[in-house]
Chains A and B, each alone.
Chain A
């Protein structure tokens, strides 16, 4: 069976199961894993965090459940009849707008349709690309000593990610499967949260000096960004370091790369790079490097405390660092190193941290 046929068959299976429930007089429901931090567990097989056994039943017994079921059925029909049968696709945003004509099955916000598509991924065990659903924005950018080939709609394109690209680097396409790595001189991958730090490293020639592939995460990384990091790690066998701001939200960025995100734990095996290491900014760096800081807000404190009960952060390293930050009551940005000179981060901090991590 082709991937297309598998996707069609899986969606039809869902419809058949609901239809059967009506026929048997069972109040229709869909069982889904509970998507909270209480229901993620470590998978030894893949070295990532995935959903556990806690299930919630989405049943038509309540108006909310019934409406959500109705929307799921409308969405299935769209994916089957518009996307798969005609070999076409839409973006997440477009799907939200298509629902305008669905009367009471209309989505109230895009987050609702996004979540329902994730539900369908979980129920079918497939990924949204299988339904020809793509994200609005492409992934972020990479820059480094790497030659690759991309299968585009207009033919194959080959390029070197230092020589053939502008200062912004190579734009990652939403479907990473269309990329083939050809050759490289890289010794490591450094993923960066902010565009400022990405540009700083390129300007300072860090990629050339350390043979590093730089990945710009653009905040919470898109699926394609996480995929390319995983691809660089598994196919080229490169060590990965993640360099973010020093606040609770940035630790979650790292967690989504190295452990798996709570929202997309059903895809952890495709998206996660278990070998990725957290470079910084660590709370201990705030003390060790005497960094300029900001006060933690109430929301920051809440996020830190929530991370203390998050099973993904249940390691001695994270407990110590998070507790330290709660005691310090301070957070630091990546850019804080600029206070010590523009070269400080590439000449001092990164080499020190990379050698601590055993990457140089």
Chain B
């Protein structure tokens, strides 16, 4: 026997369950504390997905308790339940699920997560997983105990019976496993569920910790997120192999129809255009396209501009819920949000949402906390490997009012950043779904979202500083200056000086001052108009006089009003300049009403009434 033939005898297929049995770190079961979090995460993800699909407001109960040297993790939801026939396979067969072949945003994708938790549980504790599920108030609750036969990747049912359950519907899963419960704030079951609550403000989540502590993350809204619809693949960024596969296995008889009905965002006109560019007959059978022709078709996809995929395959959190979520878990002074339009990478539509919370009780000196979410699932581990972090680090935050020591890296300041990547297919760096891969399109979109939120923050802060400057000046003017003036008058035994001119200068205002001198039974009135603002000001200055004035300089327009006259000057005064006006009257000017300025904002004028 040849060596190769001998070796061939040893070759055999490996079941996916066996593979993950030996490589469980790939799925996020590497350390004892982390395994516990991953298990909770997989079960909670499933519960949220199921509730959303069924249009139910999720109410999820998570309990972790010690049982000898092991931990028992129980997760219970009020979802639609699972029919008896499917129960074993959903929980005890890897790569079994309803979402892998569907182009729609959901938390779970491959059908690995919860089965992997079951696998980990049976490996470490040797105990089966206990599942209870009920699909309606009038139906019995089904209870079963399952394990995975790793050699075949098939479920083994150890026990199955009907039980009494007080819930109208829902699913409860109980896993026993090795683990270690950590009560830190970030990388912990508590931290994970807190972040889940931020992006799922429609869910109520209750956590009972091993020591009996009960934490309830209450709902912030009663409205369900908009459901995501299934779509066809988008032609943008599709790869040659994928296209050839689609061409070969399609049931469509003609190329034109194939293009219209296999892809999203392609209509009759675009299909025709594609055929023309690639010099292919729209009536030819898709399966008859050769390698070269498929290549031409792919090139045509890249030439034409296909409209963005429809947004309804995605389920964004939305501006209101981002606000509500952030407000729920943090005390903030300001929240900016940015929702990007749908974009595409490798044929997969995706959408970026950014929330930026600022101020309040956030730490002023520390690095900004980054909350990463993919399809509404918090990402807790491997922050440094994630596209979200990389996009944050390469932003020039100094331009957006956050400090960034060294000109790069995560910014420093009292802020929290929330970035949500929603997609029909999130490109994770590994199966444990810890970090999003650095796809250029995704990095660009996150960057644009961060910039939009950053601009809003900058605007808010500059308005705040203008306001505080204004407040400071007002304090000087209202509280301090009058006291200085009256104290000086006390000391010198003189009248309190007029602080108007000083006020005008400090506020950067236009100042109107009137002075009068008695001369030969006449009153010479002089008006000084000083412009302390930073711009040239054009306006009208009115004097309402009870009599006709003489030697008006410069000449003014006079209009009789009632039993008096309205004199007005059209003035243009540059910054720092002064205009001088004068006239003579017979009566005492002290009785005149205040001069009136027309055509300027009231807060810019001191010493005159503003019309």
Interface centre among B494, B498, B502 (most CB of A within 10 A): B502
In the complex, residue of chain B having the shortest beta-carbon distance to the beta carbon of A20: B497
* Interface contact B484-A28, CB-CB below 8 Å: yes
- B499 on the interface (CB 8 Å rule)? yes
| B480 in the interface (beta carbon within 8 A) | yes
| Chain B positions within 8 Å of A296 at CB level | none
Q: Which of A23, A24, A60 contacts B481 (CB 8 A)?
A: A60
B480 x A23 contact (CB < 8 A): no
Q: Are B491 and A15 in contact (CB under 8 A)?
A: yes
Bound CA–CA A60/B480 (angstroms): 9
With beta carbons under 8 angstroms apart, the residue of B479, B490, B498 that contacts A104 is B479
Interface: A80 (CB within 8 A): yes
CA distance A26 to B484 in the complex (A): 14
Q: Is B505 an interface residue (CB 8 A)?
A: yes
Decide: A69 near B484, CB < 8 A? Known: A22-B497, A60-B506, A63-B476: yes
Cβ 8 A contact of A22, one of B498, B504, B511, B530: B498
Residue of B nearest to A65 (CB): B476
> A73, B480: Cβ atoms under 8 Å?
no
Q: Give the tally of cross-chain contacts (CB within 8 A).
A: 77
Query: Which of A63, A69, A76, A77 gathers most chain B CB within 10 Å?
Result: A63
Contacts of B502 in A (CB 8 A): 21-22, 25-28, 60
Does A329 interact with chain B (Cβ within 8 Å)? no
A38 CA / B243 CA spacing, docked (Å): 77
A contact residues around B472 at 8 Å (CB): 62-63
Identify whether the interface residues of B are mostly helix, strand, loop, or mixed.
helix
Per-residue CB proximity of A10-25 to B under 8 Å, as 1/0? 0010011011011111
Residue among A22, A60, A105 with max Cβ neighbours from chain B (10 Å): A22
Instruction: Kindly list chain B residues whose C-beta atoms are within 8 Å of the C-beta of A15.
Output: 488, 491-492
Q: Are B483 and A105 in contact (CB under 8 A)?
A: yes
Measured CA separation A23–B513 after assembly (Å): 12
Contact across chains for B492 and A22 when beta carbons are under 8 A apart: no
Q: How near does chain B come to A62, taking the closest CB pair, in angstroms?
A: 7
Residues in B with CB closer than 8 Å to A104 are 479-480, 483
Contact of B475 with A by CB under 8 A: yes
In this assembly, does A292 line the interface, its C-beta being within 8 Å of a C-beta of chain B? no
A313 at the interface (CB under 8 A from B): no
Residues of chain B with a CB closer than 8 A to A157's CB: none
Q: For the complex, what is the distance from the CA of A25 to the CA of B489, rounded to whole Å? A: 16
Interface residues of A in 1-60 (CB under 8 A from B): 12, 15-16, 18-19, 21-28, 60
CB distance from B473 to the nearest CB of A (A): 8
* Closest chain B residue, CB of each to CB of A59: B506
**A16 and B492: CB pair below 8 A?**
yes
Is there an interface contact between A19 and B497, defined as CB atoms closer than 8 Å?
A: yes
Alpha-carbon gap, A62 to B476, bound state (A): 7
Q: Which residues of A contact B499 (CB under 8 A)?
A: 22
Q: Is B485 on the interface with A (CB-CB < 8 A)?
A: yes
Closest to A104 in B: B479
Nearest to B504 among chain A residues (CB) is A25
Interface size on A, residues (CB 8 A): 29
- Does A66 interact with chain B (Cβ within 8 Å)? yes
- CB of B152 within 8 Å of the partner chain: no
- Which A residues, 266 to 321, have Cβ-Cβ distances below 8 Å to chain B? none
The reply to whether the CB of A153 lies closer than 8 angstroms to some CB of chain B is no
Interface of A is mostly: helix
B491, A27: Cβ atoms closer than 8 Å: no
Partner of A61, one of B485, B491, B494, B506: B506
Give the chain A neighbours of B226 by CB distance below 8 A.
none
B500 CB to closest chain A CB, in angstroms?
8
Tell me which of A27, A63, A66, A67 contacts B505 (CB under 8 A): A27
CB of B191 within 8 Å of the partner chain = no
Which residues from chain B contact A76 at a C-beta distance below 8 Å?
491
Q: Does B140 contact A (CB under 8 A)?
A: no
Cα-based distance from A28 to B530 in the complex (angstroms): 18
**In the complex, which of the residues B472, B483, B499 has the most CB atoms of chain A within 10 Å of its own CB atom?**
B483
When the two chains form their complex, are residues B487 and A73 in contact, meaning their CB atoms are under 8 A apart? yes
Assess whether A25 is in contact with B505, with CB atoms less than 8 Å apart.
yes
Residue with the highest number of chain B CB atoms closer than 10 Å, among A66, A69, A74, A80: A66
Which interface class (under 10, 10 to 19, 20 to 34, 35 or more) fits B? 20 to 34
Q: Tell me whether B484 and A70 are in contact (CB under 8 A).
A: yes
Can you name the residue of chain B whose Cβ is closest to the Cβ of A103? B483
B501 proximal to A (CB < 8 A): yes
Task: Give min CB distance, B492 to chain A, whole Å.
Answer: 5
Per the 8 Å Cβ criterion, residues 154-192 of B in contact with A are: none
Q: Give every chain B residue within 8 A of A70 (Cβ-Cβ).
A: 480, 483-484, 487
Complex Cα distance, B297 from A269, in Å, reads: 96
Give bound CA distance, A16 to B472, whole Å: 27
What separation, in Å, do the CA atoms of A76 and B487 have in the docked complex? 10
Q: Which residues of A contact B530 (CB under 8 A)?
A: 25
In the docked arrangement, what's the CA distance between A353 and B288, Å? 111
Q: Are A19 and B479 in contact (CB under 8 A)?
A: no
| CB closest residue in chain A, given B474 | A63
Q: B494 contacts which chain A residues (CB < 8 A)?
A: 19
* B506-A77 in contact (CB<8A): no
Which residues of chain B are within 8 angstroms of A66 by Cβ–Cβ distance? 476, 480-481, 484
Asked if residues A60 and B476 are in contact (CB atoms below 8 Å), the reply is yes
Q: In the assembled complex, which residues on chain B have CB atoms less than 8 Å from the CB atom of A21?
A: 502
Point out the residues of chain A lying under 8 angstroms from B492, CB to CB. 12, 15-16, 19
Residues of B within 8 A of A18 (CB): 484, 488
In the complex, which residue of chain B has the Cβ closest to the Cβ of A61? B506
Complex-state Cα separation, A23 to B491, whole angstroms: 16
Residues on A with beta carbons closer than 8 Å to the beta carbon of B483: 70, 104-105
Chain B, 517-536, contact with A by CB distance < 8 Å: what is the 0/1 string? 00000000000001000000
Q: How many angstroms from the CA of A61 to the CA of B508 in the assembled complex?
A: 11
Given contacts A12-B492, A66-B481, contact A25 B501 (CB under 8 A): yes
- Shortest distance between the CB of B518 and any CB in chain A (Å): 20
Contact B497 A60 (CB under 8 A): no
**Across-interface contacts of B479 in A (CB, < 8 A):** 104
- B479 nearest CB neighbor, chain A only: A104
State how many angstroms separate the Cβ of A164 from the closest Cβ of chain B.
47
Query: Residues of B contacting A25 with CB < 8 Å?
Result: 501-502, 504-505, 511, 513, 530
CA distance A22 to B530 in the complex (A): 15
The distance in angstroms between the C-alpha atoms of A25 and B506, with both chains bound, is: 10
Q: How far is the CA of A73 from the CA of B491 in the complex (A)?
A: 9
Would you call A63 and B480 a contact (CB within 8 A)?
yes
Residue of A nearest to B499 (CB): A22
Among B475, B484, B511, chain A packs the most CB atoms within 10 A around the CB of: B484
20 of the cross-chain contacts (CB-CB < 8 Å) are A12-B491, A15-B491, A19-B488, A22-B485, A22-B488, A22-B499, A22-B502, A25-B505, A27-B502, A28-B484, A28-B502, A60-B480, A61-B506, A66-B476, A66-B480, A69-B484, A73-B487, A77-B487, A77-B491, A80-B491
Q: Give the top 3 A-B pairs by smallest Cβ distance, nearest first.
A: A25-B501, A22-B497, A66-B480
Name A's B-contacting residues (CB within 8 A). Answer: 12, 15-16, 18-19, 21-28, 60-63, 66-67, 69-70, 73-74, 76-77, 80-81, 104-105
Query: Which residues does B use to contact A, with CB under 8 Å?
Result: 472, 475-476, 479-481, 483-485, 487-492, 494, 497-499, 501-502, 504-506, 511, 513, 530
Further 7 A-B residue pairs, CB within 8 A, beyond A22-B499, A62-B472 = A15-B491, A19-B489, A26-B502, A28-B502, A69-B480, A73-B491, A77-B487
